[in-house]
């Protein structure tokens, strides 16, 4: 498999090189040159496969030429052996044809574990083979950080730096990052918001001179294609468990950086019948406003009870646009230049937006509706939603096109991570699972820094070199 940049002006890379890259040299994101496509018969033949074997079927075409088939299966088996539910991604029924796909049974209790447990192993495999050391740099609004640390902490060949917005992640989220001990793990609390942290990460990928040529930067955010690739699998898994591919499905996805829902779009392109994809946002609703009124206008970031979705600029939307603009890198480079200005509203070509609307709907759920959804779902079913998942469930209910096909909301995190929202809804926070039982007593290690690129880069360079 070869990968190309969404902006059309960077070298084609193999999977191995894409894994070890962040942004493409032209500032774009890497996407597969050809999307593997499966017939309904072939997908149907996977119906009874356990999650790990299904994952191999879906992922192997993306890594072919870089990772051997048996090594991939071994890494997949190891990655999902640390999950706390033997189905890996179980479905919970809320109502007739309405489900939550529980993606929070991994070690850090959020969907990020699906990709980052595998990504850590892939990195280790490739870096050992090449005898190279790298520096991981990532930005988190709460969940990517801990999953990345958990997934890579055992890799001998990485130093990992995670930037989170100081005071704007939940206590459990922060502690899941800052209490992991290891000389190669570095947490930086930025005096700013997630977008500033993400901008610093992207700027560092564009110009890596601050590392003085000693080491390369590697991304753990969903700008790294390997993240998206691993997240495609659970769309197939959920569908196959509910009668797909012989019937179509709808998915509602709590959305921030647009990585998770883009994985659903990829599953559809690979042949999985998906009739509707719902972009569920909190009040940081730039994508909902774009989908409903064709105006892309970035507004100041709001801090909400769904902190992981407190994102104003959704990186992976570029990957969708690349597809909507017929893989025209030149058109994309100019469109992205306009969109990245951030102080002006941008309109998309009407036909391209209409194409997106064939499959995507969107809805923005504010804090009070999020709390009400947690309460009403609990009253009806006894099931406690995390606030991000509640945003997904509510958006699904508001936008549903067809009651006869299953609507599956991605359950992106466990409620125990979000004490504030759960308490606002009037519930006691559930107990932490056994492996995190003493989380609140563990020693924390974190460095608070101003949101200044030079200061952050200097800190990283001084720590690594």
Ligand X SMILES: Cc1ncc(COP(=O)(O)O)c(C=O)c1O
Ligand Y SMILES: N[C@@H](CCOP(=O)(O)O)C(=O)O
> What, of ligand X, ligand Y, none, does residue 255 touch, CB below 5 to 8 Å by kind?
ligand X
Comparison of 22 and 406: residue with beta carbon closer to ligand Y: 22
Choose the stretch contacting ligand X; rule: CB under 6 A; options: 5-13, 186-194, 202-210, 256-264: 256-264
Identify which of residues 110 and 249 has a Cβ nearer to ligand X in the complex: 110
Contact partner, 83, from ligand X, ligand Y, none, Cβ < 5-8 Å per class: none
Q: Of 75 and 177, which CB lies nearer to ligand Y in the complex structure?
A: 177
Write out the binding residues for ligand X, residues 301-340 only, by CB under 6 A.
Answer: 308-309
Q: Is residue 190 at the binding interface for ligand X, with CB under 6 A as the rule?
A: no
Q: Nearest 5 degrees, angle CA 91-CA 92-CA 97?
A: 90
Q: At closest approach, how far in Å is the CB of 165 from ligand X?
A: 13
**How far apart, in whole angstroms, are the C-alpha atoms of residue 69 and residue 20?**
19
Annotated active-site residue 168? The verdict is no
3-state SS assignment for residue 409: strand
Residues at the site binding ligand Y, with contacts judged by CB under 6 A: 140-145, 221-222, 256-257, 259, 308, 315
E strands, 166-224, where? 185-191, 216-219
Q: Note whether 113 binds ligand X by CB under 6 A.
A: no
CA dihedral 399, 404, 405, 409 (to 10 degrees): 50
Binding pattern to ligand X, positions 114-143, x when CB under 6 A?
Answer: ----------------------------xx
Give the total residue count for the chain: 465
Q: Which stretch binds ligand X (CB under 6 A): 4-12, 52-60, 253-261, 420-428?
A: 253-261
Q: What is the largest CA-CA distance in the chain?
A: 59
How far is residue 258's CA from residue 93's CA, in Å, rounded to a whole number? Answer: 25
Nearer to ligand X, 10 or 410 (CB): 410
Output the CA angle 231-236-242, nearest 5 degrees. 135
- Which member of 2, 33, 57, 112 is catalytic? 112
Burial of 444 (0-12, 13-18, 19+ CB in 10 A): exposed
Rounded distance, CA 408 to CA 109, Å? 19
**DSSP one-letter code for 416:** G
Is the preceding peptide bond at 6 cis, omega within 30 degrees of 0?
no
Taking CB under 6 A as the binding criterion, the range among 44-52, 212-220, 252-260, 455-463 that sits at the site for ligand X is 252-260
Q: Which chain residues interact with ligand X by CB under 6 A?
A: 110, 142-143, 222, 254-260, 308-309, 388, 412-413
Annotated catalytic residues are 112
């Amino acid at each position: 498999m070869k990968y190309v940049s969404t902006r059309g002006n960077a070298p084609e890379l193999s999977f191995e090189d894409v894994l070890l890259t962040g942004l493409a040299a032209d500032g774009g994101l890497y996407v597969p040159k050809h999307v593997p496509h499966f017939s309904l018969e072939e997908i149907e033949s996977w119906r009874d496969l356990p999650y790990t074997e299904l994952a191999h079927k879906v992922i192997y075409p993306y890594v072919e030429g870089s990772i051997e088939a048996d090594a991939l299966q071994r890494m997949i088996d190891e990655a999902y052996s640390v999950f706390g539910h033997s189905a890996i991604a179980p479905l919970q029924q809320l109502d007739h044809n309405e489900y939550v796909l529980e993606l929070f049974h991994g070690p850090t209790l959020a969907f990020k574990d699906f990709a980052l447990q595998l990504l850590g192993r892939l990195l280790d495999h490739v870096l050992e083979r090449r005898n190279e050391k790298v520096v991981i740099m990532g930005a988190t609004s709460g969940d990517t950080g801990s999953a990345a640390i958990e997934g890579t902490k055992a890799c001998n060949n990485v130093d990992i730096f995670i930037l989170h917005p100081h005071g704007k992640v939940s206590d459990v989220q922060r502690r899941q990052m800052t209490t992991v001990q290891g000389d190669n793990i570095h947490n930086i609390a930025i005096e700013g918001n997630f977008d500033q942290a993400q901008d610093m990460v992207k700027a560092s990928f564009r110009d890596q001179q601050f590392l003085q040529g000693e080491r390369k930067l590697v991304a753990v955010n969903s700008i790294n294609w390997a993240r998206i690739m691993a997240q495609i699998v659970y769309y197939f898994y959920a569908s196959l468990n509910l009668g797909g591919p012989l019937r179509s499905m709808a998915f509602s996805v709590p959305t921030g950086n647009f990585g998770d829902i883009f994985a659903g779009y990829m599953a559809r392109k690979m042949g999985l019948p998906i009739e509707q994809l719902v972009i569920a946002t909190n009040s940081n609703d730039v994508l909902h406003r774009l989908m409903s009124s064709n105006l892309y206008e970035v507004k100041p970031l709001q801090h909400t009870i769904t902190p992981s979705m407190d994102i104003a600029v959704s990186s992976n939307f570029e990957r969708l646009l690349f597809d909507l603009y017929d893989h025209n890198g030149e058109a994309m480079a100019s469109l992205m230049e306009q969109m990245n200005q951030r102080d002006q509203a941008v309109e998309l070509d009407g036909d391209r937006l209409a194409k997106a609307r064939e499959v995507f709907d969107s809805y923005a759920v504010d804090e009070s509706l999020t709390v009400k959804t947690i309460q009403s779902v609990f009253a009806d079913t006894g099931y406690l939603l995390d606030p991000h998942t509640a945003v997904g469930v509510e958006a699904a209910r508001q936008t549903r096109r067809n009651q006869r096909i299953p609507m599956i909301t991605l359950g992106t995190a466990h409620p125990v991570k979000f004490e504030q929202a759960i308490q606002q809804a009037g519930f006691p926070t559930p107990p932490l699972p056994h492996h995190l039982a003493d989380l609140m007593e563990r020693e924390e290690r974190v460095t608070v820094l101003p949101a200044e690129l030079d200061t952050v880069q200097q800190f990283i360079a001084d720590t690594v070199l």
